[in-house]
Amino acid sequence: MKALARIWNATNPRARAALALFFGALLVAPLFADRYLLSVLILIFYFAFVGQAWNVMMGFAGQLSLGHALYVGVGAYVSAALWVKFGIGPWAGVLAAIAACVALGLVIGALGFRFGIEGVYFAMLTIAIAEFVRIAFDHMEWTGKAGGFFLPVRADAAGEWWNLRGGPLLFYYVGLALMAGAFVLCAMLRRSRIGHQWLAIREDEQAARALGIDVFRAKLIAVAISSAMTGIGGVFYAFYYNNLFPAQVFDISRSIELILGPIVGGLGTLFGPILGAFILTPLGEALIGATERLGVNVPGAKAVFYGVALMAIIYAAPSGVWPWLKKKLGLA
């Protein structure tokens, strides 16, 4: 708490006000938002959360992972299987999900970092292992193989918040809590000793090593925290959707989806992943509506406009939208 208070006090007063306003508005948003808007906001929170998780590894520690859907999938399957097979609820299941994801992350990290697999080669390793696990789940009888794994839906269980059984309002506030929690955690990590070590490694690994930083250990911690957080995102996903298919949750396109937010918002920044999610998800939804209203009834037209918009954003703010916006709003 003391560390948190220190961070809060050290923050620009304008930024503090903006943050309070932002999260305050989100707290009361369900009073005004309709069901559609709520569902979009839940998606935004989810992508902001998993984007924040990926940002720890890439944005803070400089380790490129393109297979992060692996942790979403493992977290989702572990918690869902514990719930369906043993009746262990998600609040306990999340611990098992975290343990499984951290173990996987450490294996990948240890493999990669011990043998000097870096940059794009490390990224390829993460993709390869995500694909390997996807194929393994495609054949795993216990979790329904490629045919899918399904959580039962009972109307009388709708109010069981302790089992993450409920309507959109429950998932809205759980999603918001996850996003806010990840933001606070990352703010604390950024200012911690390990956070500074990560930044040093990201900027110049050789120099960091020369300074006496245990680079291997620091990188593994980044992987462990990132995979644990992403695994929690998987638990949320499993109980929100109630069904899991390896081809969907482990697919590389899901990995790309979850890294787009932090890239657009601002890599390595605290608010970038959140802003990125708040830009990209509504942009996609708005483009669906806009193409419909314009009468552009060509399948995939939205994807074309989305791609163009993405290019325009990256062209206008190559370091991410948040660093640019922060300067404009005087929040730096």
Distance CA 26, CA 252 (A): 31
Residue count of the chain, please give it: 332
By CB under 8 A, name the one of 202, 219, 302, 326 that touches another protein: 302
Smallest gap from residue 210 Cβ to another protein (A): 45
Smallest gap from residue 201 Cβ to another protein (A): 34
At position 230, the amino acid (one-letter code) is T
From the list 313, 262, 203, the residue with the least C-alpha distance to 68 is 262
CB 68 within 8 A of CB 123: no
User: Angle formed by the axes of helices 119-138 and 252-265, to 10°?
Assistant: 140
Binding status of residue 36 toward another protein by CB under 8 A? yes
Neighbours of 96 (CB within 10 A): 17
Binding status of residue 293 toward another protein by CB under 8 A? no
What DSSP state is assigned to residue 232?
Answer: H
By CB under 8 A, name the one of 119, 148, 307, 330 that touches another protein: 148
Binding status of residue 324 toward another protein by CB under 8 A? no
Binding status of residue 285 toward another protein by CB under 8 A? yes
Task: Record the tokens describing residue 306, joined without a space.
Answer: 């989305």
Distance CA 116, CA 70 (A): 22
Binding status of residue 307 toward another protein by CB under 8 A? no
Binding status of residue 330 toward another protein by CB under 8 A? no
**Closest CB to another protein among residues 245, 271:** 245
CB 273 within 8 A of CB 329: no
Binding status of residue 295 toward another protein by CB under 8 A? no
Smallest gap from residue 151 Cβ to another protein (A): 8
Smallest gap from residue 53 Cβ to another protein (A): 18
Query: What would the DSSP string read from start to end of 40-76?
Result: HHHHHHHHHHHHHHHHIIIIIT----S-THHHHHHHH
Task: Record the tokens describing residue 294, joined without a space.
Answer: 């314009």
Binding status of residue 89 toward another protein by CB under 8 A? no
**Closest CB to another protein among residues 39, 163:** 39
Binding status of residue 35 toward another protein by CB under 8 A? yes
Binding status of residue 294 toward another protein by CB under 8 A? no
Binding status of residue 135 toward another protein by CB under 8 A? yes
The stretch among 217-225, 261-269, 283-291, 313-321 that binds another protein (CB under 8 A) is 283-291
CB 215 within 8 A of CB 205: yes
Give the binding site for another protein (CB under 8 A).
34-36, 38-40, 43, 135, 138-139, 145-148, 150-155, 167-168, 241-243, 245-248, 284-285, 288-289, 297, 299-300, 302-303
